[in-house]
Amino acid sequence: MKPGSSSSHPVDITKDPKEIPGSQIPYEKFLDCIHCGLCTAACPTYLETGNENDSPRGRIYLMRAVVDQRVELSDAVRGHLDLCLDCRSCETACPSGVQYGRLIEPFRVDIQKMDARQGKSSQQDWFHRWILYRLFPYPSRIRMTLVPARVMQTLRIDKLMNALKLTSLLPDKLKRMNDLLPRLKPAEPDLPEVLPAQGTQRARVAFFTGCVSEAMYSHVNRATVRVLQANGCEVVIPKTQACCGAIHYHSGADQAALEFALKNLAAFELDDIDAIIVNVAGCGAMLKDYGHIAEEIEGVSAEHKEQLKQLASKFKDVSEFLFELGPIAPQGEIPHSATYHDACHLVHAQKVQNQPRKLLELIPGLNLIPLNESTICCGAAGSYNLTQPEMADQLGKRKLKNILDTGAQIVISGNVGCTLQIDSKLRQSHQPLWVAHPMELLDLSYRGQKPAF
Which residues make up the interface to another protein (CB under 8 A)?
Answer: 1-9, 11, 27-28, 31-32, 34-42, 46, 50-53, 55, 57-58, 61-62, 65, 67-72, 74, 76-77, 80, 93-97, 372
- Least distance to another protein from the beta carbon of 2, Å? 6
CB of 290 to another protein, least distance (A): 24
CB of 229 to another protein, least distance (A): 32
Q: Are 101 and 91 in contact (CB under 8 A)?
A: yes
* Nearest residue (CB) to another protein, 49 versus 167: 49
Minimum CB distance to another protein smaller for 39 or for 215: 39
Q: Tell me whether residue 5 or residue 301 sits nearer to another protein (CB atom).
A: 5
**275-278 vs 233-236, strand pairing mode:** unpaired
- What angle, 0 to 180 degrees and rounded to 10, lies between the N-to-C axes of helices 416-428 and 389-406? 80
Contacts of 151 (CB under 8 A, 6+ apart): 157
Nearer to another protein (CB atom), residue 31 or residue 144: 31
Least distance in angstroms from the C-beta of 51 to another protein = 7
Residue 425 · residue 380 · CB < 8 Å: no
Q: How many helices (H) and strands (E) in the chain?
A: 24, 9
Q: How far is the CB of 25 from another protein (least distance, A)?
A: 11
Nearest to 228 by CA among 246, 206, 245, 260: 206
Question: With respect to another protein, which residue has the nearer C-beta, 57 or 113?
Answer: 57
**E-strand spans in 78-172?**
none
Q: In the complex with another protein, which residue's Cβ is closer, 41 or 160?
A: 41
**DSSP class per residue in 211-279:** SHHHHH-HHHHHHHHHHHHHTTEEEE--TT-----HHHHHTT-HHHHHHHHHHHHHH---TT-SEEEE-
Q: Minimum distance between the CB of residue 340 and another protein, rounded to whole angstroms?
A: 17
Amino acid letter, 319: S
Residue 129 gets which letter from DSSP? I
- Specify the residue, 55 or 264, whose C-beta has the smaller distance to another protein: 55
Sign of the CA dihedral with 230 first, then 233, 234, and 237 last: negative
Nearer to another protein, 204 or 292 (CB): 292
Report the relative pairing of strands 233-236 and 203-208 from DSSP bridges.
parallel
| Residue 27, CA distances (Å) to 30, 102, 114, 118, 192 in order | 5, 12, 20, 26, 48
CB of 240 to another protein, least distance (A): 40
Nearest distance from residue 60's CB to another protein, in Å?
9
Distance separating alpha carbons of residues 38 and 92, to the nearest angstrom: 10
Instruction: Please list, in sequence order, all residues whose beta carbon lies within 8 angstroms of the beta carbon of residue 406, skipping any fewer than 6 positions away.
Output: 337, 339, 369, 370, 371, 372
Closest distance to another protein from the beta carbon of 353 (Å): 12
Output 1 or 163, the one with its CB closest to another protein: 1
